[in-house]
Amino acid sequence: MKLPFRLKQNTEQGEKRNYTSLVCLVICVAFAAFLALHTLLFLVVPDRAMSENENRTLQQKPKLTLSAIADGSYMKQYETYLTDQFPNRDGLISFHSFFSSLLGHREQNGVYLGKRGFLFEAQTPLDEERLQKTTDAINALMAQEKHAQCAMILAPNSTYVLKKYLPYGLKMDDQKAQLTTVKNALQGEKFSWVSVLKSYEKVEDPTTLYYHTDHHWTTRAALRAFLSLSSKWNLGAKEKSFNIEAVSKKFSGVLAASYGERKIKDVLEICAPKKSEGTYTVSYESQSRVTASVFDTEKLDQRNQYEVFLGGNYDKVVIQTLAETEDTLLLFKDSFANCLIPMLTPYFTKIVIIDPRYFSDSLQDIVDDNEFTHILFVYNLNTFLADKSLAGVLAS
């Protein structure tokens, strides 16, 4: 006997409702299990101090105080703490990046996915007041050390040099104009501005100047800038005086970590003067450690392989060399300088390296103890425009 049409329709609708209810139940159970598992993991897994993938320190559990509650800082810090210490954070970032890419999204955590797999970080806007403080402090140091030759290597970021590879429709500031603004603010009779953009003009393929997965310039880009500096300071350096060697073909930088990209890999190269072995020592004074190389090859076995250069970032590093010269160098830098530092060793008998982000001692004591013949600033434009440390260190 055939069911009446209405009864048959109601039966089909009931089956659909049952199926929908079952799907919803499965999703709810799975989500509840996911939350329960990650809540348990959050309680038992120790907090991490550092994210190797993102190359940054992670928020620790904030202290509960009345003042922190009153000004709202406790809740903000606790929210960041929950985000930073969430179990399997790196895996979830990768999954979110993959899923977002399928939907056509090209931005994750302030990192943009461009053409040919290039990742770009957001630019730092020019803050005239902050820049004025920084350049005034540099000018004051140059006036004080008027017998020393001073130079600035300020590298543009890949967002400008590789702008044709930016995602469609993404607009960035004109970093060439920003570089000109910085240059015009610096003074001094013995000051030299090293035009990084001009040094790039000799490179046929600009994609060799920046990594796909990292915000740093490549070693080859740093060499181009150093050779321009050599010309300014009459150091006599030639490209044939250096060996370039690939030390990793699986380099994945901090931009890839922030974006969640795991497939794209870069080639990481080092550049060293020929016959440089045994000609210098490197002292990490805050760690009471001395090495015979500016390269830390153990870092190649870790997540952040860029730390092969100098072992990472430190407040103060002193390099003593056997160079046949009396010239000495005081270097202020961010991490862009790390791959350039090995190129300096044949041309100075002593190199004192200061990273203002970590330096807390008196700069004046260092200046008084050394008669520097050269002073060099090596930064990328993003870091320089955002800098809040350099002016204070130069005044210390």
For the chain, give every domain's residue range: 69-105, 119-123+130-394
Q: Is the confidence at residue 102, as pLDDT, over 50?
A: no
Q: Could you identify the residue written with the tokens 């072995």? A: 277
CA atoms within 13 A on the CB side of 325: 20
Helix, strand, or coil (residue 193):
strand
CA dihedral angle for residue 236, residue 355, residue 163, residue 110, rounded to 10 degrees: 170
Give the model's pLDDT for residue 276.
Answer: 72
> Tens of pLDDT along 156-177?
999 999 999 999 888 888 999 9
Is the confidence at residue 24, as pLDDT, over 80? no
Confidence of residue 277 (pLDDT cuts 50, 70, 90): low
17-31, 57-71, 210-224, 328-342: least confident range: 17-31
Query: What average pLDDT does the structure give for the chain?
Result: 86
* Residue given tokens 């190389």 in the structure block: 293
| pTM of the predicted protein model | 0.77
Note every long-range contact of 322-328, with CB atoms under 8 Å and residues 24 or more positions apart, other chains counting: 322/279, 322/280, 322/349, 323/279, 323/347, 323/348, 323/349, 325/349, 326/373, 327/373, 327/374, 328/352, 328/370, 328/371, 328/372, 328/373, 328/374
Top pLDDT among 206 and 107 is at 206
Residue partners of 209: CB distance under 8 A and separation at least 6: 158, 161, 162, 200, 203, 217, 218, 220, 221, 224
- Mean of pLDDT values over 223-236: 96
pLDDT tens string 103-117:
445 678 789 999 999
CA distance 176 to 166: 17
List b or e across 116-137, with b for residues whose CB sees 16 or more CB atoms inside 10 angstroms: eebbbbebbeeeeeebebbbbb
